[in-house]
Structure formats: C-alpha cells, structure tokens
Amino acid sequence: MKNNTLLKMLAMLFAFTLIAAACGGSDGDAGSDGGTDSGEDGDSDGDSDDDAMEDDGESASGALAGVCPSPLVIQTDWFAEAEHGMLYELIGEGYTVDVENKITSGPMVSEGEEVGIDFEIRMGGPAIGFQPTATVMYTDDAIHLSYTNTEAQAQQFADTPMYAVMAPLEINPQMVMWDPETYPDVKTIADLGAAGVTVNVFAGGEWPTVFVADGTLNQDQIDPSYDGGPARFIAEGGAIAQQGFASAEPFNYENVFEEWGKPVALELLHDAGFEVYAAMISVRAGELEDLRPCLEELVPVMQRAVVSYTTSPDRANAIIVDVIEQIDDFWVYTPELAAWSVEKQVELGLVGNGPDSTVGNMDADRVNRVLQAMRDAGIDVVVDDASELFTNEFIDESIGF
C-alpha cells in the first residue's frame, strides 16, 4: 500500500484492538440515530417492527416476509471486513450505504434469492463510539441482533443480558504473534512465557489475566502499553511479542508495513486454551420469545450464508470493499486483504464446523471451561452456566461444510 494508506492502517489497528476484548463493541451516533441517507425510517420503535412484519410489499412472497422485522437490523463490532462476510453475503443487489452513519442496507438474499425482508448492517467500533454492542442494544430498540462474545456476555449479563443463537466464527481470530527469526524455537504462547519474552497487549483484556493465572505467561512479561500500531514491534526488531488478529495483521506486516515486510509467527488464543466464541449472533435475552418465529427461519439462512460465503466469497468481498471505499474513513480494506483473510480463516479453522458436521452451533462444555478459567483468574463472572448465555435450538444440524 501507499504511505498515506499506512497512516490510515495505523489508526485502524489502534481502534481495532480496542474492541478486541469485547469483540463486539458498538454504538454512538449511528446506534442512536439509526437513520439512512435515503430517508428510510431507521429509528424504528416497537410499532414500526410490527408494521413491517405485516407489510405486504413487493417481497412478501419471500420466506422471511411477515415472520421477521423489516428491515432486520444487526449491530456489528467493527467496520466491514471479511470476518463479517456472512452478513454481506446476505445483502442483495441495489444496496445503499449511509456514509455518515456507516450503515449498509438492502434486500436480504439467501443463495441469490430474496427472502422477503430488508437487511441493515450497522458498523461498530469507532462508528459508534467504541461502546459495547450490548450497551447499544439496550439503548436502541431499532436493533434486533448484534455481535457479542463469551467474555463480554459473562461479565455484562446482569446489566445488559445478551443471548447468543449462532456462532458464525468457530474460533476467535485473536492471537499473539512474534518474529520467527528472532525466536526460532518458539512455537506457542507458552513458549514465549518460558522464554521470558515481553508480550505487548492492550490494557484491560481478559486473556492476559487468564494466561497469567494458569501459568502460560508471567505477570512481569505483560506490557499493557500496546497502541494498536506496528511501530514498536518494528522498532524492537521483533524482540517483543504482540497481540493481534490472525485474520488481518499477518497480511499487513508482510505486505503493507514496508519497514517489516516479512512473515510473523503466531498462536491463536483459542489454541493456547482461551476458547471464547467471538462475534456470536445475539439478541436481547428478554426478547428471545418474541423473535422465536423469526429466528427459526433466519438462523438456517445465516448458516447457509456462512458456507456460501466461505466457499465463494468474491461477490460479498466486492460489496465489503465497495462499502469501505464509499465510507472513505481511516479504515482501509483491499480486495487482496479480503481474499487473503477468507483463505486464512479456513486454514486456521476460524470458520468451519464445530466438533460435529454442523456450522454455527456452540459447545456448552467449551463455554463452561472459559467461564471457569475466568473465575480462576479472579474475573467477575455473573453467570453460573453456559446455558444462560446461548442456545442451539434454532440451528439446522444438517447445514455445514
């Protein structure tokens, strides 16, 4: 990329990892206004959802017409990117972009066919003031779904309870990376711990606390001064390790940050033992019953979208790149990064079936292990069991890779 793009990427990386711990932060002006430049009523109160579900408009013959709200609104945790590809796979032709509020709207499609409702994807992170997605959900009734993650759910459930119904990503993309030339014998995060390597992280995250508590790392190795940019890692010549996202940063360090320009080694937090789910499709816990008829039809549509996007991502990637170009903010997303990210997600198992042949379902034992690890590390967990945080009842077990 050009040097002026590098400046944008530095800002992007800083903002990107600020929400990593919540991997689902969202809100701000877009979350509260909810409008679009086209003049559609995006503020929507409860009555507008009911009206939309009763509307007999042009797409009423679709499978979700009269069953789900229209537009169906989802709050994401960041700008459009390949990790959100499933959502953009659901956006049909004729979509529009509200540049000011960073909202993409269009007819929802499944395998190329309109399903009878409109779909609205709201970007998160800096687009909404870095608020957690749960906070946004509880301040804007126009939003029906949002991303959330296990560690955020477990700590915020008392005040803003979110209930997950599907996990588009099987594995959390967060990682720790290091220079394989400097540390040729390091293969894991635990190896970094044994070697005493400084690990530069954002302050306030749960995973460093868990890894210190279980002995993977030592407290004196944790440097919570990471600012999201590559400057220190590069300046140190790879002497330190650094947190990041396996679905983006390795590409940037090898192909974008010219001062580095070579591969990094990494281990996923998941593989090191912190097996949280990231970017789960979630609803306000108290609205599960009201949305049940919709979710029964919608969740299988989303499962199919995960499979179709992952196996044939070009159309949705083109939408993602176009949306980011229209918004023209600091976040830069190229076709090359989008294509690489999908390949890397498949390679690392970030997207795919669980331990069975089904995509999108969640494992209670895995979540309970996370909850116990957080408790053991002294983190305040306000739920007793994984069953309080998610359900697989809407999952179609026949859909998978």
Q: pLDDT tens digits, residue range 336-362? A: 999 999 999 999 999 999 889 999 999
CATH code of the domain made up of 3-171+277-388:
3.40.190.10
d(CA 36, CA 18): 27
How far does Cα 255 stand from its chain's mean position? 23
Instruction: Please give the pLDDT value at position 227.
Output: 86
DSSP 277-307: --SEEEEEGGGHHHHHHHHHHHHHHHHHHHH
pLDDT tens digit string along 212-235? 999 999 999 999 999 888 999 999
pLDDT of residue 228: 84
Helices (H) and strands (E) in the chain, counts: 14, 12
pLDDT for res 9: 41
3-state secondary structure of 201: coil
pTM for this structure?
0.84
Contact 151, 21 (CB under 8 A): yes
b/e 218-248 (16+ beta carbons within 10 angstroms → b): eeebbbeebebbbeebeeeebebbbbbbbbb
Domain boundary assignment for the chain: 3-171+277-388, 188-268
Q: In the beta sheet, which residues pair with residue 73? A: 120
Instruction: Enumerate residue ranges in the chain where pLDDT < 70.
Output: 1-61
pLDDT the model gives residue 33: 34
Calculate the alpha carbon distances from 322 to 59, 65, 113, 332 in Å. 25, 28, 21, 11
The pLDDT value recorded for residue 355 is 82
Amino acid (one-letter) located at 224: P
The conformation of residue 149, written as its DSSP 8-state character, comes to -
Task: Return d(Cα 73, Cα 375) in angstroms, integer.
Answer: 34
State the pairing for strand pair 199-200/222-223: parallel
Residue 392: name the closest of 352, 357, 351, 364 by CA. 364
What's the confidence (pLDDT) of residue 256?
95
CA distance 163 to 358: 20
